[in-house]
Structure 1
Amino acid sequence: MRKLLFIIIYLSFISPAFAGGNKAIENALQEYIKGKDARIGIAIIINGKDTVSVNGNRDFPMMSVVKFPLALTVANWVDTNNMSLSDTVTFSGKSLKEDTYSPMLKKYGKSRNAMTVRELLEWSLVESDNNAADILLNCVGGVSGATSKMRQIGISDEIVIGASEEDMHRDPYLSYLNRTTPLAMAQLFDRFNNEMRNASQSYSEISVMLKQCRTGLDRLALPLLPTNATIGHKTGTGFPTPRSHISSK
């Protein structure tokens, strides 16, 4: 079963020992992936300017990494409508699908039909809850509304939201509609950390949530956990299909 894997790394600083060693890093990564039965894309941005990539301009499905650009569209929706993350969103029991990953549903069942925007973002980003993500997607006008807001805030058209979590669970191949290049996503994280997170309270709180993310701790974040590094991340896991298994970090 062939795998698709893309990895995004943003480093706000790096040891001087690596300065000028970008080509060596890239060569080491190329050597590592050689012969792997997978299509692998990697993008690394160091100090906001130095870039290393492998297949960095190729499309990869985002899986739950999509919840990061989605959260940015929610922040835009909140800010441009003079709202706050404390405002309440109401939803029906039909919005809470049982056949999807939803720790929110497991905790509350279908008894709750209202939450603050902040709560829904926390469930979506920290716990990677699929129901919370789809409720937020509906708030910003679905796929078309999210796309419009992404472009308004200058998110690259190489980052595409084309399907909801419900869509992807109905047909796993629709996950390919939510796609990005590793470089585009690395650049978005870089821009978010250096610029967007300071633009409003909404974006600032998203930054905190990324640092609290509880999913994917056994993946890209694992080697950094024993250090003093501050880790903000969003990991995605794909659907096994006859053709492939998809993971994104």
Structure 2
Amino acid sequence: MFRAIGFIICCFLIASVAKGQSPDSTLRIQVQEIAKDAKGTVGFAMLGIENRDTMSYNGRLHLPMQSVMKFPIAITVLHQIDEGIFKLDQLIHIGKSDLPPTYSPLRDKFPEGNVNVSIKDLLSYMVSLSDNNACDILLKTLGGTDVVDTYMHSFGIKQIAVKASEFEMAQAWDVQFSNWVQPKEMIRLLDIATKPNFLSKASRDELWNIMEATSTGPNQIKGLLPAGSIVAHKTGRSGTNAKGISAATNDVGIITLANGKHLALTVFVTNSSVDLPARESIIARIAKAVYDYEVAK
């Protein structure tokens, strides 16, 4: 009899502990455990756009953006279009000197330059294809990185720095760290960019169309989500140095959930010593854990 009573009490205590562990704490533990596999630093932040749920892990660290910086650059270009400074269909002349060797589908298509390309197409190259030359051509058109930095700060996105072009980042390893953002601040930027009073409707539609068309990083945020999930996102990735350290493997964006709601998510894997598939798996597993958590609400 006493054994039976003891068994019942034990089961009650176990159930109480399990019941006492909130879904929030379970997700946080999941993220922390996944992050250990990076052998580096993982920065994570999330926001339920409709329900305003938030969570972060290393959310206030200054982490290198790499090509994630193309998202705030695109916003700045579209803002200046709304201001009448540029037009979406405006042609930009591209010379051969504008196309140095780097990752650039634009250069692959026009290796000799001497071509006119619309701002609309340059935005698509820069964001959807993560083209480095398209990025620097648009930065030159804007007047440099300070224009982007100043515009971000003007509407309250303070914990971000856009200081170096793609070409400048390629010149020395440490330069990439001058382009940084806090994961929590990137979430704020994603959230702001969804608002109907931010950018014109035409510019906002253009932004999210090119973000949804992103073809880079298919094994990152999208990697473990249900087939056909809509993800408007921007990736960023550094090289690996002689010590086997990869400075940045990043993905930020907005997921449309199965219930029709939206989840803003940022995952930065910084100074990691594991290989690319492992780094991408960290992003994919965190994204899936957060997706499941939000859908189950």
The question of whether the paired residues in 1 share the 8 Å contact of 2:128 and 2:210 is answered with: yes
SS at match of 2:230: coil
How far does residue 112 in structure 1 lie from its aligned partner after superposition?
A: 3.8
Note the 1:3-42 alignment, pairs <5 A: 21-34=23-36, 36-42=38-44
Residues 157 and 130 from structure 1, CA distance in 2 versus in 1: closer, same or farther, beyond 3 angstroms?
Answer: same
How far does residue 140 in structure 1 lie from its aligned partner after superposition?
A: 1.1
Note the 1:39-58 alignment, pairs <5 A: 39-48=41-50, 49-58=52-61
SS at match of 1:239: coil
The question of whether the paired residues in 2 share the 8 Å contact of 1:22 and 1:51 is answered with: no
Partners of 2:95 and 2:174 lie apart in 1 by 27
Residue aligning to 2:191: 190
Partners of 1:230 and 1:113 lie apart in 2 by 34
1:149 to 142, 148, 151: 151
Residues 137 and 111 from structure 1, CA distance in 2 versus in 1: closer, same or farther, beyond 3 angstroms?
Answer: closer
Supply the AA of the counterpart residue of 2:222: A
The question of whether the paired residues in 1 share the 8 Å contact of 2:96 and 2:111 is answered with: no
**TM-score under structure 2 normalisation?**
0.71
Note the 1:199-210 alignment, pairs <5 A: 199-210=200-211
Question: Any gaps of 5 or more consecutive residues in structure 1?
Answer: 1-19
Note the 1:13-162 alignment, pairs <5 A: 21-34=23-36, 36-48=38-50, 49-98=52-101, 100-152=102-154, 154-162=155-163
Partners of 2:198 and 2:114 lie apart in 1 by 30
SS at match of 1:156: coil
Supply the AA of the counterpart residue of 1:60: L
Supply the AA of the counterpart residue of 2:123: L
Rg (Cα) greater in structure: 2
Partners of 2:121 and 2:24 lie apart in 1 by 40
Residues 192 and 125 from structure 1, CA distance in 2 versus in 1: closer, same or farther, beyond 3 angstroms?
Answer: same
SS at match of 1:222: coil
Partners of 1:128 and 1:196 lie apart in 2 by 27
- Identity, in percent, stands at 27
Partners of 1:41 and 1:26 lie apart in 2 by 12
**TM-score under structure 1 normalisation?**
0.84
- Per-residue displacement from partner, 1:16-40 (whole Å, max 9, x unpaired)? xxxx722321122123324641111
The question of whether the paired residues in 2 share the 8 Å contact of 1:58 and 1:182 is answered with: yes
The question of whether the paired residues in 1 share the 8 Å contact of 2:94 and 2:113 is answered with: no
Single out whichever of 198-207 and 128-137 deviates more from structure 2: 198-207
How far does residue 156 in structure 1 lie from its aligned partner after superposition?
A: 1.0
| Matched residue count | 227
SS at match of 2:168: helix
Partners of 1:81 and 1:174 lie apart in 2 by 33
Supply the AA of the counterpart residue of 1:28: Q
Residues 83 and 141 from structure 1, CA distance in 2 versus in 1: closer, same or farther, beyond 3 angstroms?
Answer: closer
Question: Any gaps of 5 or more consecutive residues in structure 2?
Answer: 1-21, 252-297
The question of whether the paired residues in 2 share the 8 Å contact of 1:167 and 1:174 is answered with: yes
SS at match of 2:224: helix
Matched, 1:236 2:239: no
Residues 196 and 236 from structure 1, CA distance in 2 versus in 1: closer, same or farther, beyond 3 angstroms?
Answer: farther
Partners of 1:110 and 1:149 lie apart in 2 by 33
Partners of 1:71 and 1:210 lie apart in 2 by 10
Task: Provide the alpha-carbon RMSD of the alignment.
Answer: 1.9
SS at match of 2:194: helix
Residues 63 and 200 from structure 1, CA distance in 2 versus in 1: closer, same or farther, beyond 3 angstroms?
Answer: same
How far does residue 239 in structure 1 lie from its aligned partner after superposition?
A: 2.1
Partners of 1:225 and 1:121 lie apart in 2 by 28
